[in-house]
Structure 1
């Protein structure tokens, strides 16, 4: 199954850093997200985009994980030639990750 079946995402940017929050629709799925959605898995998914480290922060009270992707926006909004300089489409790429059925 795809991640979008149990979660939704929000994205943001600061300079050349993008963050992607993954929020479980149902809090019962948070432990599953925590277990299967690792920084390494996200780094693999965004290997052609993120040129720096990827950090994961857990927000259990919100049922969410926040991933910070360094060097991911082509220099930042004012420097990038990318069509999606803010990285808003990165949420769609995240939600397309294949996860095991539960």
Structure 2
């Protein structure tokens, strides 16, 4: 006897969470905050350090560190050496932390279809 798995859909991360960002020197901090507590477990399972590193592969961060804040259903992602030697030294205008948050919010996430009622953010 086999168990049927719940149907899932793939959506960009911005449907599950919103973001706040900051940068200092050559480090970017990107906070991810769930739109609804029911989405938290999915975020923890899929927005991992390795998933974020893959999403930022072209930016070549030296290190990705994730800090979980479960009581807030949030996490802080720290990307080291990702800002082209720092915002003030960068020739790339898109290197600022705020621009990088959009790259992270585009991360594809597999979500149980039953959680769609808790989605937030812009519809596409």
Bucket of the pairwise TM-score, normalised by the shorter protein: over 0.9
- The runs of 5 or more residues in structure 2 that have no matched partner are 1-10, 113-124
Larger radius of gyration: 2
Structure 1 length-normalised TM: 0.93
Select which of 88, 92, 97 maps to 1:82: 92
Work out which of the residue numbers 31, 54, 67 in structure 2 matches 1:21.
31
Q: Could you list the per-position Cα deviations for residues 68-102 of structure 1 after superposition, in whole angstroms to 9, with x for gaps in the alignment?
A: 00000001122111113422111111111111131
Aligned to 2:106: 96
Where do 4+ consecutive residues of structure 1 move more than 4 Å? Answer: none
Matched, 1:30 2:40: yes
Where structure 1 has 5 or more consecutive residues not aligned to the other structure, the ranges are: none
Work out whether residues 53 and 70 of structure 1, in 8 Å CA contact, stay in contact via their aligned partners in 2: yes
Task: Indicate which of 56, 72, 77 corresponds to 2:66.
Answer: 56
RMSD across aligned C-alpha pairs, in angstroms?
1.1
Contact 1:50 1:69 in 2 (8 A): no
Structure with more of its chain in helix, by fraction:
2
Normalising by the residue count of structure 2, what TM-score does the alignment of the two structures yield?
Answer: 0.77
* Residues in 2 aligned to 1:26 and 1:62: alpha-carbon distance in whole angstroms: 10
Check conservation: 1:7, 1:24, Cα contact below 8 A: yes
Q: How many residues align?
A: 102
Cα distance in 1 between the residues matched to 2:35 and 2:43: 11
